[in-house]
Amino acid sequence: MATFVLVHGGGHGGWCYRYVRALLQRAGHEVFAPTLSGLAERAHLRTANIGLETHIQDVAGLLHYEDLREVILVGHSYGGMVITGAADRAVERIGRIVYLDAANPLNGQSLVDVAGPIIESTRPMGETVDGTELVLLPAPEAPLFYGVTDPADAAWMSERLTAHPWKCFEDHLDLRNEDELWALPQYHIVCTSTLATRDPELVAKARALGRLWDIDTGHDLMITEPQAVADALLEIAAY
């Protein structure tokens, strides 16, 4: 049995892994899908101080308090920033890292550094509430931004998406255990359409090691293609 920790991206919550979580659990694995501070069912806890480090501590804390070991740590989109930091903080608890159409940051980088044009495009449509700058504001058409076109999935998402503090995307990653972190096996499950935008050296290395899967679907591939995502994660668990 493997232990998966599935970390969501911007504006989402643990809810977005509902389909994938069920498939992994059906295969006999233990699955955690935490919601990061200030989002989804934790939106009422949002403050102006929530940033990338808050979310790193959310995940590192889960690993500690649940006493999880040999974890397959998965992060989607902005979640790639979070899992990189969490694995750095709790490297002894991590078995493998999986980037799910996610940011692949280096030390000192922010999400703006990694995915500038896309994430910057959301800022003009944001708003400031109680001193907190928010982006990815919920709207009926928001699922299209994430590549979700099925009407039922889009309606389900629209009821659950929440605004995200901009500070999280501007904060820079502070790694403290890089040698141990980068020694961990890394895997990449990406959307076919994003391959051309990724670091060619990273893609070539992952492909050569058999650690790259590409799925021809929208960015929220855990919603649009849950079976394909679960199948890839099960392959990773079997390595």
Q: Is 110 a catalytic residue?
A: no
- Least confident among 14-18, 182-186, 193-197: 193-197
pLDDT at 239 over 90: no
Considering the candidates 77, 110, 121, 158, report the single residue annotated as catalytic: 77
Cα four-point dihedral sign 124, 159, 162, 118: negative
Give me the amino acid identity at 33. A
Residue-level pLDDT at 116: 85
| Residue 31: CA count within 13 A, CB half-sphere | 23
pLDDT, tens digit (0-9, with 9 covering 90-100), for 86-134? 999 999 999 999 999 999 999 999 999 999 888 999 999 999 999 999 9
pLDDT at 216 over 90: yes
Closest CA to 105 of 28, 29, 182: 182
Q: What is the mean pLDDT of residues 15-39?
A: 98
Closest CA to 135 of 174, 113, 164: 164
Report the predicted TM-score, pTM, of the whole model to 2 decimal places.
0.97
Please report, for the chain, the start and end positions of each structural domain, with discontinuous segments joined by +: 3-238
150: tokens are: 């099925």
Q: What is the mean pLDDT of residues 144-162?
A: 97
CATH of 3-238, one of 2.150.10.10, 3.40.800.20, 3.40.50.1820, 1.10.287.3510: 3.40.50.1820
